[in-house]
Every structure is written in C-alpha cells, then in structure tokens.
Amino acid sequence: MSGTGVLLLTLLLLVTMATSDDACSLLNGDDCGPGELCCTPSGDHQGTCETSCW
C-alpha cells in the first residue's frame, strides 16, 4: 500500500513540474532558484516560486 502511495505522489510531482516551470512543493523542500521563495496557499504544500510572498 505504501509503495502505491509513493508512486502516485511521484507521478503527481512529475506532472506538476512538467505543467508549470515555476511550481514548487514544500514536500521536496525549496525547489526554487536563488532569491526565490516557495509561496503556497494556506493549507497547501504545492505553490509557485516568487521573489516575495504576500
């Protein structure tokens, strides 16, 4: 069961990364470039790379 969950999570992350260049995930740590922050909506681990979060 846990192997299936890991596989699904990996596929989800790959799809997210492929569809948006500025996407980041707090599950992976900070995927953003130098000087960028991973800005996420409250309660979500997926977000976008921004120079500042509002």
pLDDT of residue 1: 55
Phi and psi at 39, nearest 5°, equal: -95, 120
pLDDT of residue 21: 57
Q: Which of 27, 28, 24 is CA-nearest to residue 38?
A: 24
Instruction: Say which residue the tokens 């707090």 belong to.
Output: 26
Instruction: Give mean pLDDT in consecutive 10-residue pieces for the chain, a chain of 54 residues.
Output: 74 54 74 86 84 86
